[in-house]
Chain A
Amino acid sequence: MKTSVRTIFNEGDGHAVLMLHGLSSSPLELRYLARFLSDEGFTTCVPVLNGYTAGSKEQAMEHWLDAATREYDALAARYERVSICGLSIGAALALALVHRRPQAQAVALLSLTLAYDGWAIPWYRFLLNWAYYSPLRSRYRYRESAPYGLRNDALRAKIARAMERDDFSEVGPSTISLPALHEASRLAASVRSQVRAIRNDCLIIHAIDDETSSPRNPRFVASSIGSTFLRTIWLDDSYHMITSDNEREIVARETALFLRESEITSRTGDAGGKPVVSKALARRLRQLAAMGKGRA
């Protein structure tokens, strides 16, 4: 492996954001978002989790969760507020973590993956669950293929070249082992049963054309989670890697805005935080309130 894998940490104000990357990937895939949040004043931390990040031997999902919890506790000891942000399986890990640490300020779920059911997943994908219990477990690795989670053609070509050269690129690994996939499935199953108990502020951002996890994943969470401050944003010009694709600026800006609003809301106890002077926004908020879900 030629590319170095190391924790990204940017010191900022008293609101820290723990950012969890995708399965067997690296902090690189959250680099842009971390930099943006840091510019907005947040303290950001994208840790390397032993047994989860690329380059370390696969471990059980309980170890992933323990490692993420340690990172959370370290931040919570130093900073007034800690929010959790996850990408792909990292979003599922973020949900499990926020269930374990309900005092977290907010959780942002980017391209949440509870099931590999996107349009680019091969029909025989379910066989891999069974292959885990066969001798293939240590021999077979699921190989990523085009479009690599990217709608942007130029970036996709660059990533394809990087994947041919190295084991992983800035948008993820070129292959994923069966044990890692199996543990990810266990994590997703565990999270599905915990979602209802989660009350933290929640932001969901998902692309409707996500080739890895279909929109059913965020819909399930949005309909099940117990958050009172829930915002769902759908994208239509990205695939799975929304932190690197065409709409990464929107993802970064909306994440920063949401985390700040969540902080202000909890500090002042005032729903929404900012004063609403736009009549159209006030009308929309009333409509959403009437629908029974404060999603704005």
Chain B
Amino acid sequence: MPGAAFCVAAVLIEYYFGLAPALTMMLAGVCIGDYLFVPPYAVFGFIDRSDVLFIVSYPLVALVFITLVERLRRAQFRAELIASVAQSRYEMLLRHDNDRMLARRAVDETHRLLRHLSQHRKSFVLIQALERMPAWTHGTDAGSKREAGASVLAVAPPPAEIAPGPRFDDVEPEDIRRLSNALWPGSHRVRLRAGDPIAMHASSGVQGDTGDSAAQLVDCICERFTTHAGDFLVLRVGE
């Protein structure tokens, strides 16, 4: 039956190229099939029972299959779109979850900084604000931005990025200058001014004497805190 091959072709075209090309193929198939494969061959003017049978049956069957495939394709298209929506929402959820985890981490760090400051309130030398705000907090929350700005300003008197601690004045100014330019988490050695009773008290942690009778070397510890208000380095005299 010549119509079967054209029917398969129309369905394949419907599947891969859509409705309009499939209908075009079907109509072309009617003409080509009737002209080439239905006797009498290569004649358009003569119409008999076999021509009528072909012209009626082939489009009918092809239309049924094309309609079915079209419906399936539309359902598939719709399903893909809904899957895209689900995927978009999932990705939004993951991003917000990531933001929430970052915020929680920052809050934990803030608490740790506060505990650290209260625990070593008599021994810390200075606090350095590395940046006003961590880059990733930009624009996520206007409220936290204002809060961040306010809290940084609260701990950053002149010089702009350094907040002095109780032991700030005990440290040699030259060391302060050096540390304010190159402070990093870890151990540092600084000179405390001699003759100062506080410095003498702190000299339990003295590691050695440089021979300079005016100053004593002590070990200091610097820790980094990544809070919601920015990154801070806290330098304190070691125990």
Contact = CB atoms under 8 A, between A and B. Distances in A.
Contacts of B82: 208, 236
Contacts of B139: 40-42, 256-257, 259-260
A296 B91 contact: yes
Contact of B142 (A39, A208, A235, A274): A39
Interface stretch (B59-67, B93-101, B191-199, B209-217): B93-101
B138 A260 contact: yes
Contact of B92 (A215, A250, A268, A275): A250
CB-based closest 10 A-B pairs = A260-B139, A274-B136, A278-B98, A208-B81, A281-B94, A236-B85, A234-B84, A234-B85, A233-B88, A234-B88
Interface in A251-280: 254, 256-257, 259-260, 263-264, 267-268, 273-278, 280
Contacts of B138: 41, 260, 263-264
25 contacts: A40-B139, A41-B138, A41-B142, A41-B145, A208-B84, A233-B88, A234-B87, A236-B81, A254-B92, A256-B139, A257-B95, A260-B140, A264-B135, A264-B136, A267-B135, A274-B98, A274-B99, A277-B101, A277-B105, A278-B94, A278-B98, A280-B94, A281-B94, A284-B91, A296-B91
B76 to A, nearest CB: 13
A269 to B, nearest CB: 12
A217 interface: no
Given A208-B81, A208-B84, A268 B91 contact: no
Nearest to B141: A40
B142 A278 contact: no
A175 interface: no
Interface of A: 39-42, 208, 215, 232-236, 250, 254, 256-257, 259-260, 263-264, 267-268, 273-278, 280-281, 284, 296
Contacts of A250: 92
Given A40-B139, A264-B136, A264-B138, A277 B98 contact: yes
Contacts of A208: 81-82, 84-85
Given A232-B88, A234-B85, A296-B91, A275 B97 contact: no
A72 B85 CA distance: 33
A284 B140 contact: no
B9 interface: no
B154 to A, nearest CB: 21
Contacts of A42: 139
Contacts of B145: 41
A273 B85 contact: no
A273 B136 CA distance: 7
B95 A281 contact: yes
A281 B88 contact: no
A20 B193 CA distance: 65
A275 B91 contact: no
B206 interface: no
Given A232-B88, A254-B92, A274-B102, A280 B135 contact: no
Interface in B64-115: 81-82, 84-85, 87-88, 90-92, 94-95, 97-99, 101-102, 105
